[in-house]
Amino acid sequence: MSRGGTAPGFPGIAALETQEARLTFSRFTHEDAWALGSTLVELARERQAPVAIDIRRGGQQLFHCALAGSSADNDAWIDRKRRVVERYGESSLLVGSRFRAKGTTFEESSRLDPDRYAAHGGSFPVRVDGAGVIGTVTVSGLPQAEDHAMVVEALERILAN
């Protein structure tokens, strides 16, 4: 395990916290969800990544796409990772990293049903200035650090415009 309680190849806790603070919207509309989802689809197609993508605001699914090579299992992973973000208000990778930093795992110590919650990278909070976490964006189909990185890259592109 690297310094900061993360597994090798994962960003450290401070880097994950910085990402979340930096990747904040001034507003988040249906059009923003479409632009973010379309950017994720573009990135996935460029990389021939067999992913499923999900974007939600509150209880409403605003975007969903399952690319070639993905399966219903990816949708189940999306639900499990998304529930972690909804419960903790932080990315699923950051939540898992915090548990690892304490010398344990999410599965061992969260007391949550692992069939319903997974603190694996790939789900990221949609945060709006002044409103906090209002939704989620989730990718499933790659190794968890790559799922997370794809979401971050798409958010960076959208928020740069």
Query: What does the pLDDT look like over 62-80, one tens digit per residue?
Result: 999 999 999 999 999 999 9
- Rounded to whole angstroms, the Cα distance separating 77 from 140 reads 6
Average pLDDT score over residue span 125-146: 97
Give one word for 51, left, alpha or beta, with left for phi > 0 and alpha for psi -120 to 50. Answer: beta
CATH number, domain of 45, equals 3.30.450.150
Evaluate whether residue 139 is within a structural domain. Answer: yes
pTM over 0.85: yes
Give the residue among 35, 31, 62, 65 at the shortest CA–CA distance from 51: 65
On whether residue 79 sits in a domain, the answer given is: yes
Task: Report yes or no on 5 lying in a domain.
Answer: no
Residue 4 in domain: no
Distances (CA, A) of 153 to 37, 98, 156: 12, 22, 5
Residue 132 included in any domain: yes
Q: What is the mean pLDDT of residues 96-116?
A: 96
What pLDDT digit, counting tens, does each position of 16-36 carry? 999 999 999 999 999 999 999
Question: Is 155 in contact with 67 (CB distance < 8 Å)?
Answer: no
Domain of 52 in residue numbering reads as 13-160
- In total, how many domains does the chain have? 1
The answer as to whether 1 is a domain residue is: no
Helices (H), the chain: 13-22, 30-47, 72-88, 92-101, 106-109, 144-160
